Amino acid sequence: MIKRAQSFGKRAQLEMIGIAIVVVLVIIGFLFVLKAISKPPSSTQAGFVRAHIGQDVLNTMSIADAGCFGIDMTEVLKACAEGSTIDCAEPCVYFDEKVKEVLEATLEEQKLAYRFRVYRIEDPPKTAGEALGGIFMEYGGCNETSLNRGTLIIKEKPGMIVVPTNAGDIKVMLEVCSNPY
């Protein structure tokens, strides 16, 4: 009987050691997964995302629902360029407000400096007064002065969309600026 109790005790100890080893392995596995998830993106991956962010934002914005009786943002911009109306508001003002919302939620949230301009294809604006419908936004110091001085540069190709309208083609441009260093 004593031998049986000792055998039972050893078996229980071995089972406890086995369970402890499994728990330790699960914890180590969990730590590896946690480290992989919390790891910041590589500089190559971040560079790729930044290189295309301007175009990606414009592409998405152009087909997005404007929240105005089922028309998309491109239709609002066409109405602005052609001087026609939409049911929600004055089209240039409405487009400007919606674009500000999108850029605040995307680029400004990531603290990325940018310049957004809308103009007739022949005359790129340098100031808001020259832009179509006054649709001209700058954030984070991304402006003509900082670009000319070299304090900010546009490393990646700007995002660009051309919108054909009855009043002539319109160009929408989004430039993401960054530090030159």
pLDDT at 48: 45
Query: Which residues, in sequence order, are CB contacts of 87 under 8 Å at separation 6+?
Result: 68, 69
Q: What is the pLDDT of residues 32-75, one digit of tens each?
A: 777 777 766 555 444 444 557 889 888 888 888 888 888 999 99
pLDDT at 28: 86
pLDDT at 44: 47
Q: What is the pLDDT of residues 90-138, one digit of tens each?
A: 999 999 999 999 999 988 988 888 989 898 877 666 666 778 878 888 8
pLDDT at 46: 45
Extents of the domains making up the chain = 1-39, 44-177
pLDDT at 138: 86
pTM beyond cutoff 0.75: no
- Please give the Cα distance from 158 to 3 (Å, whole number): 82
**Residue 132 DSSP SS3:** helix
pLDDT at 100: 92
Q: What is the pLDDT of residues 11-23, one digit of tens each?
A: 878 888 888 898 8
pLDDT of 1 strictly over 60: no
pLDDT at 36: 72
Bridging pattern class, strands 113-120 and 159-163: unpaired
- Please give the Cα distance from 136 to 4 (Å, whole number): 87
